[in-house]
Amino acid sequence: MAFNAQVWGLLAFFVAAQAQSASSPEKLSTLQDQQQVAVTIYNENLALIKDQRRVTPAKGANRLAWRDVSARIMPETAFLRSLAGGEGIVLLEQNFDFDLLTPQKLLDKYVGQSVTVIRTNAATGVESSETATVLSTNGGVVLKFADRIETGLPGRLAFKTVPDNLRDRPTLVISFLAPSEGERPMELSYLTGGLSWRADYVAELSSADDRLDLSGWVTLTNVSGSSYPNAKLQLVAGDVNRVRRELDFVQEGRVMKAAPMAAPAMAEEGLFEYHLYSLERLTTIAEQQTKQVALLSASHVPVHKELQLLGRDYYYRSSYGDLGQKMKVGVFMEFENKGGGLGVPLPKGVIRVYKKDAAGKAQFVGEDRIDHTPRGEMVRLKLGEAFDVTADKKQTSFLKLSGSGRDSTVFESAYQIELKNAKDEAVIVNVIEPVPGDWEMLAESLPHRKPASNTAAWRMQVPARGKAILDYRVRVKL
């Protein structure tokens, strides 16, 4: 019985407190009260906002309208706390008012209520007014005057006031109890959509294709419905697990406004199983804006160019004959994430590669997407396909030696690959063949490597304006 009495007493206290809070005058907090804002942006359209402001609550119940929150706030994640020492505040209720003020929304809220219709005489310019009741706003306006009903807008409409739940900016209304009166610092933290970032990289190859200069940029996009002036910006790189929400607010459209800087300005540190990048100065993230911030800069990074002809495993299982004429040879670039300004974890993004022509003008030569890359790991890019290096491939023999039904089947097949080089200099092409099952190389014109259990690889040198031929025979057990 004592426990039940405690529970009912506590419940009665909160009911009374909420009733008192609901009747309390609303206090407005705007960006003018803001002392500091911190924005942490994750990869997948998610950000953590920490907004610190000076607030002057009354002792007891308060209703605080925290203006200029994100229009895509996740209200269930919002948390208000007092940063002052001593006894804290007691939260009672919070409401996110995202129904923003527009002429149509204001008119909709006045259905069943009276408005003043103001008309101007076109001949005399004299204004007259009369009262009407808004009957409907569906597909047009229906107004009831004292002696008639009219449709459409016969003049200007004047409204008595703006309804409480119709805001000019996204607003979070928080009801709470304060232990004392007086100004105190308070922080509202919440998760929001509408803020995202990605990494973009620009690389320039040397004339010999053996070194590159690399610049990394962070591209931020803000379509959250709010601005974050002089914010402390941090970015989290990594794949953070999230529970998908059943309802999300979608806001389209953005204004491109790039503001690249000359030098890298982000510090990196480990965070849980992710990496955190911090901008070492304050920056303003304006609403409907895309901006760029320098991430890293590296010079004279050793790079290796590779021409690769990649095969398929299907033609080791059956007879095919001709496998392709003038086949494309892929062009790859590879470098290690260390030294020369590198050696920091690289967030996933797109690397665009340029090279200067004979006139000294940088020309685009390809791009590829990289995943999150730890320090010391290799970065491998496919930039395109070679124009002057091609391949002809054919199956010269195919035999089924044994097997049927569920029994193991043994095939023996032979192949010829002819590489042609129209360049004025010799090239090296790596031929990669994925061979299925248990296999054995029976004969070959060049020795192969076995980089993996299902892969045979040959390194072939093709002379300038010449060709090179590879013949091999393999036995496969499936």
| Cross-strand bridge partners of residue 256 | 290
pLDDT score at 259: 34
Cα–Cα dist 103/153, whole Å: 12
Q: How far is CA 10 from CA 5, 14, 91, 192, 245, in A?
A: 9, 6, 14, 33, 33
The answer on pLDDT for 185 being more than 50 is yes
Q: What letter represents residue 148's amino acid?
A: R
Q: Report if residue 26 sits inside a domain.
A: yes
- Provide the pLDDT for residue 21: 47
Q: What is the pLDDT of residue 405?
A: 62
Separation between Cα atoms, residue 279 and residue 265, nearest integer Å: 6
In this predicted structure, the answer to whether residue 457 has a pLDDT above a threshold of 70 is yes
Q: Is residue 364 part of a domain?
A: no
Tokens found for residue 143: 């107004």
Which tens digit of pLDDT belongs to each residue from 1-39?
444 544 444 444 445 445 554 556 889 899 999 999 999
What pLDDT, on the 0 to 100 scale, is given for residue 13? 46
User: Which residue would you say has higher pLDDT here, 98 or 324?
Assistant: 324
Task: End-to-end CA distance of the chain: give it in Å, rounded.
Answer: 76
Of the chain, the percentage scoring pLDDT greater than 90 comes to 57
Q: What local confidence, expressed as pLDDT, does residue 261 receive?
A: 34
Q: What's the mean pLDDT in 168-183?
A: 88
User: Residue 3: which H helix or E strand, with range?
Assistant: helix 2-23
The predicted-structure confidence for 187-197, as pLDDT tens digits, reads as follows 999 999 999 99
Q: Do 75 and 145 fall within a single domain?
A: no
Residue 275: pLDDT above 50?
yes
Q: Which of 302, 321, 345 is the last residue of a domain?
A: 302
Is there a contact between 193 and 242 (Cβ–Cβ < 8 Å)?
A: no
DSSP secondary structure string for all residues of 110-130? TBTSEEEEEEE-TTT--EEEE
CA angle centred on 386, ends 385 and 387, rounded to 5°: 120
Question: Are residue 308 and residue 272 in the same domain, yes or no?
Answer: no
pLDDT confidence tier of residue 459, bands split at 50, 70 and 90: very high
Is residue 24 a contact partner of residue 220, using CB atoms and an 8 Å limit?
no
Q: What was the pLDDT predicted at 469?
A: 97
Rounded-to-integer distance, Cα 306 and Cα 387, Å: 14
Do residues 312 and 320 make contact, with C-beta atoms less than 8 angstroms apart? no
Instruction: Check residue 265 and give its pLDDT.
Output: 53
- State whether 108 and 32 are in the same domain: no
The pairing of beta strand 34-42 with beta strand 228-237: parallel
Sequence-distant (6+) residues with CB within 8 A of 96 are 69, 73, 75, 78, 170, 171, 172, 173
pLDDT of 239: 65
Q: How many CB atoms lie within 10 A of CB 33?
A: 18
In terms of Cβ atoms closer than 10 Å to its own Cβ (0-12, 13-18, 19+), residue 44 is exposed
Q: For residue range 238-265, what is the model confidence (pLDDT) as tens digits?
A: 766 656 554 343 333 333 333 333 344 5
Among 158, 175, 204, residue at a domain's last position: 158
Two structure tokens written together for 185: 């610092």
For residue 277, what are its two tokens?
Answer: 């990048």
Shared domain for 466 and 323, answered yes or no, is: yes
Mean pLDDT for the stretch of residues 304-324: 94
- The residue type of 260 is P
332/366 Cα distance (integer angstroms): 10
pLDDT tens track for 126-150: 899 999 999 999 888 999 999 999 9
| Helix and strand numbers, DSSP H then E, in the chain | 2, 30
- Per-residue model confidence (pLDDT) at position 110: 87
pLDDT by residue (tens digit) across 50-59?
Answer: 999 999 999 9
Does residue 76 belong to any structural domain of this protein? yes
Reported as a pLDDT band with limits 50, 70 and 90, residue 412 is: very high
Indicate whether 11 belongs to any domain. yes
Asked whether residue 308 falls in the same domain as residue 456, the answer is yes
- Mean pLDDT calculated for residue range 186-215: 93
Task: Mark whether 311 and 450 lie in a shared domain.
Answer: yes
Structure-token pair, residue 17: 């407190």
Structure tokens at 331: 């062009």
Residues 211 and 290 in one domain: yes
| Range 371-386 average pLDDT | 92
Whole-angstrom Cα distance, residue 302 to residue 372?
Answer: 20
Claim to verify: residue 416 and residue 459 sit in the same structural domain:
yes
In a domain, 89, yes or no: yes
Looking at the structure of the chain, the number of domains it has is 4
Q: Residue 334, Cβ neighbours under 10 Å: how many?
A: 13
SS3 for 34-65, per residue?
EEEEEEEEECCCEEEEEEEEEECCCCEEEEEE
**Tokens representing residue 332 in the block:** 């790859």
Assigned domain for 229 exists: yes
- pLDDT band for 107, please (50, 70, 90 cuts): confident
What is the distance, to the nearest Å, from the Cα of residue 167 to the centroid of all Cα atoms in its chain?
A: 29
CA atoms within 13 A on the CB side of 478: 17
* 13 CB neighbour count, 10 Å cutoff: 12
Answer yes or no: do 154 and 36 share one domain. no
Question: Is 365 domain-assigned?
Answer: no
If asked whether residues 200 and 314 sit together in one domain, one would say: no
Is the domain of 295 the same as that of 326?
Answer: no
Same domain, 199 and 183: no
Express as a percent the part of the chain with pLDDT over 70: 86
Q: Would 283 be classed as within a structural domain?
A: yes
324: domain CATH number is: 2.60.40
Q: Are 426 and 460 in contact (CB under 8 A)?
A: no
**Structural domain range at position 222:** 195-302
